[in-house]
Amino acid sequence: MDNQILKVNGLTMDFGGIRALNSLDLDVNRGEIVALIGPNGAGKTTFFNCITGIYAPTEGEVYLASPGSDTKVSLKGLKPNQVTEKGLARTFQNIRLFAKMTVLENVMIGRHCRTKATVLGAVFRNRTTRDEEQSILETSYDILEKVGLEQYVNEFANNLPYGAQRRLEVARALATEPLLLLLDEPAAGMNPQETIELEKLIKEISSEGQSILLIEHDMTLVMSLSDRIFVMDYGKKIAEGTPVEIRENPAVIKAYLGEDVDA
Amino acid sequence: MLLIKELKKALGVALWFIFLTFPIMVIKVDPIERIIRYRWENAAYVAIVAFTAYLVMSFFKMRKLRVTADKKEVKKSQNVIYSILNNKKQLTVLSFAILAIAIIFPHFFSVYQTNVMTTALMYVVLGLGLNIVVGMAGLLDLGFVAFYAVGAYSYALLNYHFGLGFWVVLPIGGALAAIFGIILGFPVLRLRGDYLAIVTLGFGEIIRLILENWGEFSQGPSGISNISRPGFFGMDFSLETSIMYMYYIMVIGVIVTIFIVNRLQDSRLGRAWIALREDEIACQAMGIDKRKTKLAAFSLGAFWAGLIGVVFAAKTTFINPASFTFLESAIILSIVVLGGMGSIIGVILGAFILILMPEYLRALSEFRMLAFGGVMVAMMVFRPQGMIANIRRTYKFEKQE
Ligand SMILES: Nc1ncnc2c1ncn2[C@@H]1O[C@H](COP(=O)(O)OP(=O)(O)O)[C@@H](O)[C@H]1O
Ligand SMILES: [Mg+2]
């Protein structure tokens, strides 16, 4: 009935005197890939930080679909870990892996909020804990295979090549079983070959029904992947539509070419 | 260049700490003789610890910049120790050999040596406990001795007032210390790095000052004496046997601790601690409850200190607040740093080196602190990851078709 997975109303974020987000509305439907684009400093990362509970937005509402029910839950006031538990998982623009943990362990961390072994379980390794640990291992390995990092399982995360680190971030987020996956410039710094592989990966994840909200600067990637695109500049939404509509939108062209905006 | 700059800054921090802690650490008013005594040696301790702690922290901060250098190091350090640690068979053989030596040790060495070894084993457990907090969860705790004191005083007081025995109080002491760990944990949940270090340092001193000044409760600076030694089904031991008994209790204690800490390290909770240490924001964003995880680290770390506190009170049969000074926290922290943060084997080695060396180098006792400080600085400069860097568990996956 209701196909929306994320609904954001009037999101505003002030840093002292700076309004980094200005009454932003955005929505993502089930199974869609939606792109959020805009010049540097437009407020895209701030948007992610606000909906994932890292910043507390000044104003506005964020609703996320809840599995098995038609009503959405508000994410307002939740801590980042609670937001992740509700089904919103993200990657970071400036890679934030757990450097001194292995690649596998990085993904296993993603399973944390879907498992519940306690201290006693850890010490006594009872049946339930062992089974849970086994399932964490298997799920994590499967995800690593999916993103093509299985040859690195036991490497420290910071020893991976750059492109692989970015894909590990995606793997780690996927391990939390998100309803909506948030990717913050996943192709940044990648070479063309790595970008093509990333595109394939995102398409594959999406084809399995994963809804994705993507911040990206690589326009070829954005145009080929997205079902819909939101464009923002100076914290405001300036356009919204399909890739074709966005490509021809005069406001977008202005924002990107840096022409003076007419009064 | 960067190193000299950091050393200079560390020196500044050390001076600043001397200044800050001057009133509590250096000045001591002696109300009986009505004089003020200046304990300048404490200023030196404060300086050494602040200096080292600063370098540890700046190492944490710089680690990101050092990734490339580290990579080479990982390759190089595939030496004998690592190959043994990675080889299950060799490790088992080695463990049994060490266990055998541990068992026969008191029969070949004097009572004095056995007693020293018991102390070293106690510090192994203390180090492993603090390793949970500092090494795994990355929370720089300079007041760890407070929990040790809680354990020791719970046994001393419960024994003094109610005649409770060692084995009854052992779990109580551990539990009380764990509760104190949570009490300390709550107010410092939001703090990190330098701020956390200062608050925990204050907490440690507060506990000691309470014990010193609340005479009706703790009998003040004169302490509590005649604490019972551990019993064994009502048997009475000679002094010699009871020292041996204490030694074997600690051998078992160390084995149990290693077993549990090792299991924790590769568990869901252990991974969460390490993730918290590596990147607090990413850790939360991956769905880990920061509060719960930190409190678990504080209380589980404190638990071991509480247990050893009980053992300490039973071993010495006399305790007073002077046994629980900041220097004690500093030594335990040094064990963790020297051995290698997060590395169980490293911490064990660190404890033996730092506790046994001074015992067997009595001749040099005057230069002890100097050597101690020198070793720590050298360590930070040449091998900041500690003697044995933390290695993570590796997994093998086999495809079943
Ligand atoms: N924590 C913060 N404090 C102050 N200003 C911030 C903070 N985070 C982001 N900003 C500001 O918000 C604006 C948007 O930044 P950001 O969201 O990172 O842009 P984008 O990701 O679109 O490049 C910038 O002007 C930035 O300086
Ligand atoms: Mg950004």
CA of A20 to the centre of ligand 1 (A): 6
Of A224, A219, A196, A167, give the one whose Cα is nearest residue A39: A219
**B247: Cβ contacts below 8 Å, ≥ 6 apart:** B105, B106, B114, B115, B117, B118, B121
Tell me the nearest-neighbour CA distance from A154 into chain B, angstroms. Answer: 5
At A179 the pLDDT is 96
Q: Is the CB of A162 under 6 A from ligand 1?
A: no
For the beta carbon of residue A163, count every other beta carbon within 10 angstroms.
Answer: 18
Alpha carbons B122 and B126: distance in angstroms, whole number: 6
Of A80, A73, A28, A55, give the one whose Cα is nearest residue A213: A28
Atom of ligand 1 nearest to the CA of A40: 23
Residue type, A60: G
At B200 the pLDDT is 92
**Hey, is the C-beta of B341 within 8 angstroms of any chain A C-beta?**
no
Residue of A79, A100, A119 lying closest to B284 (CB–CB): A79
Residue of A98, A119, A158 lying closest to B274 (CB–CB): A98
pLDDT tens-digit map of B287-312: 999 999 999 999 999 999 999 999 99
**Hey, is the C-beta of A55 within 8 angstroms of any chain B C-beta?**
no
DSSP B11-45: HHHHHHHHHHHIIIIIEEEETTTTEEEE-HHHHHH
Query: What are the residues facing A181 on neighbouring strands?
Result: A89, A212
Asked whether the predicted pLDDT for residue B25 surpasses 80, the reply is no
Of B186-200, B357-371, B384-398, highest mean pLDDT: B186-200
Query: What are the residues facing B224 on neighbouring strands?
Result: B319
Among the bound ligands, the one closest to the CA of A40: 1
Tell me the nearest-neighbour CA distance from B285 into chain A, angstroms. Answer: 5
**Hey, is the C-beta of A79 within 8 angstroms of any chain B C-beta?**
yes
Paired sense of beta strands A33-37 and A228-233, if any: parallel
Check if the beta carbon of residue B157 is closer than 8 Å to that of residue B150.
Answer: no
Estimate the share of chain B in helix, then strand, then coil, as percent rounded to the nearest 5. 75, 5, 20
Tokens representing residue B122 in the block: 């106690």
Dump strand ranges (E) for A50-100.
Answer: 59-65, 72-74, 88-90
* pTM across the whole model: 0.84
Asked whether the predicted pLDDT for residue A147 surpasses 60, the reply is yes
At B234 the pLDDT is 64
Check if the beta carbon of residue A161 is closer than 8 Å to that of residue A197.
Answer: no
Asked whether the predicted pLDDT for residue A262 surpasses 70, the reply is no
Residue type, B264: L
Q: Is the CB of A45 under 6 A from ligand 1?
A: yes
CA B51 to each of CA B10, B22, B56: distance values in angstroms, whole numbers, following the listed order? 5, 16, 9
Burial (0-12, 13-18, 19+ Cβ within 10 Å), A71: exposed
CA of A215 to the centre of ligand 2 (A): 8
Burial (0-12, 13-18, 19+ Cβ within 10 Å), B231: middle
**A16: Cβ contacts below 8 Å, ≥ 6 apart:** none
Tell me which DSSP letter residue A262 carries: P
At B42 the pLDDT is 78
Residue nearest (by alpha carbon) to ligand 1 atom 7:
A15
**Hey, is the C-beta of A97 within 8 angstroms of any chain B C-beta?**
yes
Paired sense of beta strands A33-37 and A88-90, if any: unpaired
Dump strand ranges (E) for chain A.
Answer: 4-15, 18-29, 33-37, 59-65, 72-74, 88-90, 180-184, 211-215, 228-233, 236-241
ipTM of predicted assembly, 2 dp: 0.93
**A117: Cβ contacts below 8 Å, ≥ 6 apart:** A128, A129, A132, A133, B267, B268, B269
For the beta carbon of residue B218, count every other beta carbon within 10 angstroms.
Answer: 21
Query: What are the residues facing A6 on neighbouring strands?
Result: A28, A64
List domains and CATH numbers for chain A.
1-87+178-263 (3.40.50.300), 94-176 (3.40.50.300)
Tokens representing residue B341 in the block: 């943060």
Tokens representing residue B86 in the block: 């990675």
CB A117 to CB B283 under 8 A?
no
Alpha carbons A78 and A56: distance in angstroms, whole number: 9
Question: How far from each other are the two terminal CA atoms of chain A, in whole angstroms?
Answer: 42
Alpha carbons B222 and B200: distance in angstroms, whole number: 26
The average pLDDT across B361-378 equals 74
A window 164-183, beta carbon within 8 A of B: 172-173, 176
Tell me the pLDDT band of B396, cut-offs 50, 70 and 90: confident
The correct CATH number of B109-382 out of 3.90.660, 1.20.1300, 1.10.3470, 1.10.8 is: 1.10.3470
SS3 A168: helix
At B86 the pLDDT is 63
Tell me the nearest-neighbour CA distance from B49 into chain A, angstroms. Answer: 26
Asked whether the predicted pLDDT for residue B141 surpasses 80, the reply is yes
Asked whether the predicted pLDDT for residue B125 surpasses 70, the reply is yes
The average pLDDT across B273-283 equals 95
Tell me the pLDDT band of B27, cut-offs 50, 70 and 90: confident
Burial (0-12, 13-18, 19+ Cβ within 10 Å), A262: exposed
Asked whether the predicted pLDDT for residue B72 surpasses 70, the reply is no
pLDDT tens-digit map of B166-199: 999 999 999 999 999 999 998 888 887 788 899 9
